[in-house]
Amino acid sequence: MFRKLYPDNWVDSAYEIDYEGLYREGMRGLLFDIDNTLVPHGADADMRAKELLGRLGELGFRICLISNNKEERVRRFNREIHVYEIHKANKPSVSAYRRAMELTRTNERNTVFIGDQLFTDIYGANRAGIRTYLVKPMDPKEEIQIVLKRYLEKIVLHYYKKQQAKGSQDL
């Protein structure tokens, strides 16, 4: 029932993912949400985000930011990073994910999406056939519509955890 909302991976932070391992696996495209994934909601790119995205570019990844935010917000974050960007992405629509793969010259088999929301980020990426990482939100202060979605996410994640536990027992 909830499977299209389930992430492939669930981690504490975008900063703890084994990107070198992903590259060795053949992944070449990284698509990131911005707010509460790389920085707290509305924040500019901090040194940590700049260093991560710079390091990933040096590894050989092609990177695109996908955000439902306005152009000004996305451009401000990307000002010193200089990766591909898509604003007003209308996630969970798959069109932004497909456009990001065009920009990065990657495909469903070698692209990973990293985001903090199930109903937009993960659902959209799953529908586009992309491997997903759900990260825990960086900042508890969120807009009311996101706070309400977080309650629903807890229900989905409850079933996700049960499915994960059942899967590990089958091994």
Q: How far, in Å, are 10, 18, 61, 72, 74 from residue 68 at the CA level?
A: 21, 26, 23, 12, 9
Q: Tell me: pLDDT of 169 over 60.
A: no
Q: Tell me: pLDDT of 12 over 80.
A: yes
Q: Tell me: pLDDT of 131 over 70.
A: yes
111: β partners: 29
Q: What pLDDT, on the 0 to 100 scale, is given for residue 17?
A: 98
Closest residue by Cα to residue 42 from 14, 11, 74, 64: 74
| Ranges of each domain in the chain | 3-169
Q: Which CATH class is domain 3-169?
A: alpha beta
Q: What pLDDT, on the 0 to 100 scale, is given for residue 170?
A: 45
Global pTM reads 0.86
